[in-house]
Chain A
Amino acid sequence: MSISNAIPGASAAATQGASPLAINGLSVAYQKKPVLRGVTFEVNEGELIGVIGPNGAGKSTMIKAALGLIPAIGGEVLVYGKSLKSQRRLIGYVPQRESVDWDFPTNALDVVLMGTYGRLGWYRRPGAKEKAFALDCLSKVGMADFADRQISQLSGGQQQRVFLARALVQDAKLYFMDEPFAGVDAATEKAIITLLQELKRQGKTVIVVHHDLATVKQYFDSVLLLNVELQAFGPTETTFTQEQLQHTYGGRLSFLDPGSLAVSGAGGGGGRP
């Protein structure tokens, strides 16, 4: 079932031909220290793109700056050829799971409904149509039975799936996901992969901050290697090489032998502490 069909008109404003996301010279600094320097790239429509790099490389920062959540000291972000402000409706965002307080008094369905707030404008509240769509999206991530569950009573993986359902409800064309795979169980990991494939099939573009090097080749069409500056960007096959990784991670990759990069090797590098 196509997600775009559920709420008509949501994606109609996209400009034909332009790249879903073109970033030019994006730089961010915290207290004078640059955390992102002159990042320039342009993504192809309908691709799953993994953003890879060591801790502190500025992966989350890049996503937040691209979304205008933190101020950039320079650079330009174009979404389908236009400025971010006019294209917010085309963007879906999955923040890091730890970025919110899961003890907030609300349930899973309510969190998913928050994804509709953008298109509801200033005054309208989610109604029956939005609720039905939200339930639909919850069932897509296998969480239909948990709609009424208080969010603190969900496991980490279930919370992540609620976040993904919320992104689906946003019915966007370009998605940013900040470490959706971090600390999730196997069932959730599988659910996320299925979902990413489904989004790709619908021609959506998904940019995913990712930590597990062992699964990169399996999951992503393109990779973006980042370490404050853009190190490499291109198709996974030609870009995700031992040489490029050594370059991006510097000496920190020494524990990773070439064999584990092949397919689904054990563990992977750069896991969260």
Chain B
Amino acid sequence: MSDFWILLTGSLVAACCGIVGVFLVLRKIAMIGDAISHSVMPGIVIAFLISGTRDSLVMMFAALLFGLLTTFLIGLFQRSGIQSDASIGVVFTALFAIGVILVSLFARQVHLDQDAILYGEIAFVHWNLWEVGGVSMGPKAVWLLGVTLIVIAAVIGLFYKQFKLCAFDPALAAAIGIPVALFHYMLMGLVSMATVSSFESVGAILVVGMLIIPASTAYLLTDRLGMMISLSIAVGVASTFAGYGASIILDASIAGCIVCAAGLLFVAAFLLSPSHGLISRRLRQRKLAAETTANGARAV
């Protein structure tokens, strides 16, 4: 049974991160996903301290707040003339450091250890069950991720055209009256939710891999946005299954193996993709060069 719950949890992480990751990659703000995944940590610790539990809605809300705060601060510094990558670096490391201090100060009260925060503990998801009147409803992580996935799918589904236009041509979006800033913060809110729900399972560092790697792999495999989202989820789910299998054989970290599998799938797409892959591009260039030479010879 534990296999089932681990695979389901991993797949839900892949779906949540895969959808929002596509928009991060297309808007070339992948590193903002990295920043958010780290800087929600103080929010989570503060929520632990207030609510005393590690899976409450309070936690989600606090993480959302810190995610938006991160986005806002990065934007504020950028507009004031600080370089974009520098402002991302400043904001997320400073907030993450506050989180580290809080964990070390209050570790005993919140039953948190830094390893779990950084690397996750997907192997234990089926021990932390949600019980209603003594009846087990399954792991809490699965419920949290399930709700997050529904919210993400609903918001992106409802405002698909706005998210798409804001990613492709924000100037036109603004010109026709789409509130570009609102949709930016909405996306960042979704990223924060995906991050904090995935956090317990794969940890603060590896969740970035689930946000960026499957989306980047999908980018290499298709020319349509809808298909890119589907493929991003599929790559994430495939990585979960392959990674979990590998972790059993190697007796190694599950989350580590999952993200590693995603990395391998990316490399495979990078080399072998029929449209964007390195090999097919080389072959096309060689063919083109041969044709040009042949035509040149004929012309002479």
Chain A residues packing against B (C-beta within 8 Å): 31, 64, 67-69, 85, 88, 91, 93, 95, 99-101, 104-107, 111, 114, 117-118, 120, 122-123, 125-126, 150, 166, 170
Once the chains bind, are B176 and A95 in contact (CB under 8 Å)? no
Most buried by A among B26, B28, B176, B222: B176
Q: Counting CB contacts under 8 A, is B115 at the interface? A: no
Q: How far apart are the CA atoms of A120 and B224 in the complex, in Å?
A: 21
Q: Which residues of A contact B167 (CB under 8 A)?
A: 104
Please count the residue pairs between chain A and chain B whose beta carbons lie under 8 angstroms apart in the complex: 73
A-B CB contact pairs (8 Å), 9 listed: A100-B168, A100-B169, A104-B26, A104-B167, A105-B223, A120-B161, A122-B162, A125-B160, A125-B161
Q: Counting CB contacts under 8 A, is B4 at the interface? A: no
Measured CB to CB, the nearest residue on chain B to A148 is: B223
Q: How far apart are the CA atoms of A69 and B181 in the complex, in Å?
A: 12
**Contact for B177 among A85, A95, A123, CB less than 8 A:** A85
Q: How far apart are the CA atoms of A67 and B161 in the complex, in Å?
A: 21
Q: Which residues of A contact B28 (CB under 8 A)?
A: 101
Closest chain B CB from A177 CB (angstroms): 12
Once the chains bind, are B177 and A88 in contact (CB under 8 Å)? yes
Q: Which residues of A contact B168 (CB under 8 A)?
A: 100-101, 104, 106, 111, 114
Once the chains bind, are B175 and A117 in contact (CB under 8 Å)? no
**Contact for B159 among A31, A91, A93, A122, CB less than 8 A:** A122
Q: Which residues of B contact A105 (CB under 8 A)?
A: 26, 219, 222-225, 227-228
Q: How far apart are the CA atoms of A232 and B158 in the complex, in Å?
A: 48
Once the chains bind, are A95 and B223 in contact (CB under 8 Å)? no
Q: A104-B26, A105-B219, A114-B168 given as contacts; is B175 within 8 A of A93 (CB)?
A: yes
Encode contact with A along B170-188: 1 for CB under 8 Å, 0 otherwise.
0111111110000000000
Give residues 135-165 of B contacting A (CB, 8 Å). 158-162, 164-165
Closest chain B CB from A57 CB (angstroms): 20
Once the chains bind, are B176 and A118 in contact (CB under 8 Å)? yes
Q: How far apart are the CA atoms of A107 and B162 in the complex, in Å?
A: 17
Most buried by B among A67, A117, A126: A117
Encode contact with A along B225-241: 1 for CB under 8 Å, 0 otherwise.
10110000000000000
Most buried by B among A85, A101, A126, A170: A101
Q: Which residues of A contact B160 (CB under 8 A)?
A: 125
Q: Counting CB contacts under 8 A, is B81 at the interface? A: yes
Chain B residues packing against A (C-beta within 8 Å): 26, 28, 81, 158-162, 164-165, 167-169, 171-178, 219, 222-225, 227-228
Closest chain A CB from B197 CB (angstroms): 26
Closest chain B CB from A82 CB (angstroms): 14
Q: Which residues of B contact A122 (CB under 8 A)?
A: 159, 162
Q: Which residues of A contact B81 (CB under 8 A)?
A: 31
Once the chains bind, are B174 and A69 in contact (CB under 8 Å)? yes
Q: How far apart are the CA atoms of A107 and B171 in the complex, in Å?
A: 19
Given contacts A67-B174, A105-B26, A118-B176, 14 further A-B contacts (CB under 8 A): A69-B171, A85-B177, A88-B175, A100-B169, A101-B168, A104-B225, A106-B223, A106-B225, A107-B224, A117-B161, A117-B165, A117-B176, A118-B177, A166-B172
Most buried by B among A104, A122, A125, A170: A104
Q: Which residues of A contact B171 (CB under 8 A)?
A: 64, 69, 93, 95, 99
Measured CB to CB, the nearest residue on chain B to A102 is: B168
Q: How far apart are the CA atoms of A126 and B161 in the complex, in Å?
A: 9
Q: How far apart are the CA atoms of A125 and B165 in the complex, in Å?
A: 12
Measured CB to CB, the nearest residue on chain A to B26 is: A104
Q: How far apart are the CA atoms of A122 and B177 in the complex, in Å?
A: 11
Measured CB to CB, the nearest residue on chain A to B228 is: A105
Measured CB to CB, the nearest residue on chain B to A125 is: B161
Q: Which residues of B contact A101 (CB under 8 A)?
A: 26, 28, 168
Q: Which residues of B contact A99 (CB under 8 A)?
A: 169, 171
Q: How far apart are the CA atoms of A106 and B225 in the complex, in Å?
A: 6
Q: How far apart are the CA atoms of A64 and B26 in the complex, in Å?
A: 24
Measured CB to CB, the nearest residue on chain A to B218 is: A105
Once the chains bind, are B175 and A114 in contact (CB under 8 Å)? no
Q: Which residues of A contact B227 (CB under 8 A)?
A: 105
Q: How far apart are the CA atoms of A107 and B174 in the complex, in Å?
A: 21
Q: How far apart are the CA atoms of A105 and B160 in the complex, in Å?
A: 14
**Contact for A95 among B169, B178, B219, CB less than 8 A:** B169
Once the chains bind, are B175 and A69 in contact (CB under 8 Å)? yes
Closest chain B CB from A48 CB (angstroms): 20
Measured CB to CB, the nearest residue on chain B to A91 is: B175
Once the chains bind, are B172 and A114 in contact (CB under 8 Å)? yes
Q: How far apart are the CA atoms of A68 and B177 in the complex, in Å?
A: 10
Q: How far apart are the CA atoms of A166 and B173 in the complex, in Å?
A: 13
Q: How far apart are the CA atoms of A118 and B224 in the complex, in Å?
A: 22
Q: Which residues of A contact B159 (CB under 8 A)?
A: 122
Q: Which residues of B contact A117 (CB under 8 A)?
A: 161-162, 165, 173, 176, 178
Q: How far apart are the CA atoms of A126 and B159 in the complex, in Å?
A: 13
Q: How far apart are the CA atoms of A101 and B175 in the complex, in Å?
A: 18
Q: Which residues of B contact A120 (CB under 8 A)?
A: 161
